[in-house]
Homo-oligomer: A and B are copies of this chain.
Amino acid sequence: MRYALPYELPAGRLEPNRAMSHTAIAMPVEEEVRRPPRERLLEAARELFYAEGVHTVGVDRVIERAGVAKASLYSSFGSKEGLVRAYLEEYHDRVISRRRAAAESESDPVAAILAVFDSLARDYQRADYNGCAFSGARAEEPAGGPVDAAARAYRAEMRDIFRELCVRAGAGDPDLLAWQLQLIYSGGAESAKIERNPEVPVAQRAAVETLIRSALASP
C-alpha cells in the first residue's frame, strides 16, 4: 500500500522527525543515526525517573521523551516495573564502574579511597544531581520489595570496594572503617541532594581523611 499516499504526508512527516537523512549537501558529522527504542527508553527513564521519582513519572511521559511508541516499551521491558528494574540496573553498573575506575586510578589504597569520594563529589556539581537513585526509588515503596533488594545489593558492592581498600591500607579494623566510609558516602549523597552546599564535599573529604588516619593509627 505504498501507492496511496496521504495528501500532505511528506510535510507532515518530515516535521516531527528531525531525520532529513540525506539532503543534497551532506552533513559533515552524520551522527543522527537514531538509536534503537530500547536505548532511547532507558535514557528517557534515567532522566525522568532520576529527576522526579519512579512513581511520579508515568509511562506516557517516558515514551514521549524517548520519541517511541508505547508498544515498544511493553515489548522491550514487559511492564513499567521492568523498565524501572532496567533503569536501576543500568544505574548500578554505571556508578559502580565509575567508582571502581576512580579507585583503580590510584595505586596507593588511601589515595584510592579519597579518589572514590572525589568521584562522588564531582557528581554533586552536576546541575541535575538528585542523590542516589536507589535511595530515591526505595523511598517510594514499602520495605521488602525488589527495589529494596536491589538497593541492598548496590550498597553491599560499594562496601566491598571500600573494604578491600581498607584491608590494603592496613586499617586496624577494615570492616569497621568500611562501614564508616559508607556512612559518609550515603550521608554525603543525601546532604548534597538536599542542601546543594559546597560545605558538603569539604566536610566529606575531611571526615574521610580523619577516619582513615585514626583507623591506620590503631593496631
**Interface residues of A, Cβ cutoff 8 Å to B:** 51-53, 55-56, 130-131, 135-143, 148, 151-152, 155, 175-176, 179-180, 182-188, 190-191, 193-195, 199-200, 202-204, 206-207, 210-211, 213-214
Residues of chain B with a CB closer than 8 A to A136's CB: 139
* A contact patch SS: helix
A186 interface neighbour in B152, B190, B199, B211, Cβ under 8 Å = B190
A56 interface neighbour in B140, B184, B214, Cβ under 8 Å = B140
A199 interface neighbour in B137, B141, B175, B187, Cβ under 8 Å = B175
Residues of chain B with a CB closer than 8 A to A175's CB: 199
Residues of chain B with a CB closer than 8 A to A180's CB: 203, 206-207
A133, closest chain B residue (CB): B139
